[in-house]
Structure 1
């Protein structure tokens, strides 16, 4: 044991910052979930705030605003699962099909860059393009296609934020799938080509089966985080379309907890979201095992 620790001490030291980060910002704050069972008052603290049991959860389930947030979250999650989740896979397949290494590296760099932009910049760019006086909106209106102000239209809000997420993060998400494709044996492609398989058949019968375990794993992780639909992105655009269309669980927790000071109710909402996400991961992982896939854990 000591010899292994001495051998791997450099790698262990490299892990220390990550461990400290997750311990301070993810695991330590879990103690704050006790607020969900209290009438929490910041000046009283955890110990002195009265215990109310499940009263916060009962009040939460009776709030129409909460159910509006749940419904909006589920709608956005469903659309993003159908449109956003396949986007990095499709992009990785496209990049992997490029013959020229120089062209592939250039394209990878271009599609990675939007990930490093803040949501403030991304939303501002989309506003300049699709706002009432935006470039794309003005061009369409001048050619007889009346689209109005897309940024303030509640009917197109879900497609708008999904498009923003795809543009910003599809390139970054493709990295994992490109790494999985790099591990596929080239002899499989050569054998398929000798049998007369074209690019499309090689992709369908070699590439996709080769990265299927990674796709299943990422899908399971996505299901666990399905109720998190982009707090900062939606918060920046909430006032444009109104809370009826843009209120999600994350913004509900923010406005009721941080803004209104109803800490117990907002913590109860956040705890319910976490529990649902955990259940989805466990169920999806068991389904993956029954289908013969490895899943996230055994």
Structure 2
């Protein structure tokens, strides 16, 4: 039999284990033009919360009673697809199943001898590419500028900080515990880091840690933290809107300061994006990230949870900040 995780109900607020359903089905058998994949790693990411709702977005919502799908790495265990051999590994969008069929489309071969397989879901996957293209294409940082990163201890955030340092910038991270703050400075090279849970006034804290103001803000969280950064943005600053995890589970529209005044007064660019906007540049991005990784300029940060049945809990744990870097489930 084949274990499967389905969307059982649409969450009201923060997802619960009851929103997922564990099920079994017959293990599939390959036909012509198909290959059988055995899942090795599954990526859980905050954006999946949006797909659990019915609201329209840049990607279709999950269907009730159907498998959830996210980035994964799998092993080819049987193949009738030209170009794919038994024992090879692939990455791409995979259903939350232990075994599944594929025709090979939208999958990329990955090489375990070049990097650990989990890296292809993080530093050499969508996480790394999101950080790289968001910062380089929208932020366009210049040497000596100050970059602030919210959600800095998360998968994308710590990558942004590391890339910012490679590009010669001063980098300040924002995270939720002293442990994460210390790791940002000692493990990932951030110049400074702020624990937003211990700062009574986040706007003043950012002003203190960024005496020359903020030139580039990579926003992964939204909410009051972003309000504090906006208040310290410099003229011609750039705000990169990558995520808004602080409001993903809100049941009513969030309220807060309006951004128009600071955008106008300081001629600030504010742009949201998804990594797919830069799909045609992915090969170049992977090449650059791989080079930096080989040179020792980038450090991979992963939180790996073991066990297929722990995928939903690992996803829920994202919203409680229980991950350091990329959250991945090893099957």
Q: TM-score, normalised by structure 1?
A: 0.24
Q: Which structure has more helix as a fraction of its residues? A: 1
Which of structures 1 and 2 has the larger relative contact order (alpha carbons within 8 angstroms, sep 6+)? Answer: 1
Pair member with larger Rg: 1
